[in-house]
Amino acid sequence: MMLVAGFAGLGLILAALGIYGAVSWSVTRRTQEIGIRMALGARRERVRFAIISRAMGLAVSGLVLGSITSFAVAKWISSLLFQTQPNDGMTIAAVVAVLGFVALIAGYGPARRASRIEPVVALRAQ
């Protein structure tokens, strides 16, 4: 059980790093666009919301695909489960909630960095 919990923790860390990396790369590529938006009057909160929405979109698509896959392979992993059923709704809801929260936290760093972009610096970078 501890081995499975360790792998689950490692998977959670890898998911957070993957979301952070993908969103951070997207922010880096879109620096000029974000700078133009801010130069035209976009508020920092709106930029932050747009970046976090992108991160949550990635997370939701991954959670949907992962949930579908978990239901599909549930009978094969039932021997590894301890005191729970393969399609236990409460467990799946808890996993979805934890991964959603991790995605929110992972997307906040790049969103904060994007909202601090100075329009003049972003426009000169090109």
pLDDT, tens digit (0-9, with 9 covering 90-100), for 66-91: 888 888 887 787 777 667 677 777 88
**Mean pLDDT score, 10-21:** 89
Asked if the model's pLDDT at residue 126 lies above 70, the reply is no
Q: How many domains does the chain have?
A: 1
CA angle 60, 89, 15 (to 5 degrees): 35
Which two three-digit tokens encode residue 63?
């959670």
DSSP state of 17: H
What DSSP element (H or E) covers 76? helix 74-77
Q: Is 1 within a domain? A: no
Residue 7 lies in a domain: no
pLDDT at 46: 92
- Determine the structural domain holding residue 58 and report its residue range: 17-76+87-124
Domain membership flag for residue 70: yes
In a domain, 2, yes or no: no
User: pLDDT averaged over the chain?
Assistant: 85
